[in-house]
Amino acid sequence: QEARQRSGLLASGTFLVKQSAQFLLDLVFPPHCAGCGKVGSSWCQRCQQELSHHPIQYHFRELPPMSGVIATSPHEGKLQDAIHALKYYGAIDLAAPLAQRLIVCLEATEW
């Protein structure tokens, strides 16, 4: 019981340190929007809205030995920029909106 409490305190302390460090880094090196370059966030409201207005078109095809591949839309433009920012530059706040597109796409399939 006591060990669990210490572990929880350590985890919350580590989280606090990471959040503080991220805040300081954002002050010195503010994030830029992956879609348009605007300073302030990794994915600005305008680019999020612009992408959300693009209908999700799922593309499914089999690529042996895999049973299939799904994409929410062509890998180009702001969507491509967002995926690259997440994948190569660690813009983890892009994970949720990109994951939401995949969820909608996967729910529309019988895969």
Range with the poorest average pLDDT among 5-9, 11-15, 74-78: 5-9
pLDDT of residue 89 exceeding 80: yes
Give tens-digit pLDDT for 42-87: 888 888 888 776 666 666 666 677 777 777 887 888 889 889 989 9
To 5 degrees, how large is the angle CA 100–CA 90–CA 25? 120
Which amino acid does the sequence have at 9?
Answer: L
3-class SS of residue 69: strand
**In terms of residue numbers, what domain contains 2?**
1-29
Considering the domain architecture, whether residues 57 and 100 belong to the same structural domain is answered as yes
User: How much is the pTM?
Assistant: 0.60
**47 shares its domain with 101:** yes
User: Measured between alpha carbons, how far apart are the two ends of the chain, in Å?
Assistant: 43
Q: Which two tokens stand for residue 65?
A: 């030995």
Total number of domains constituting the chain: 2
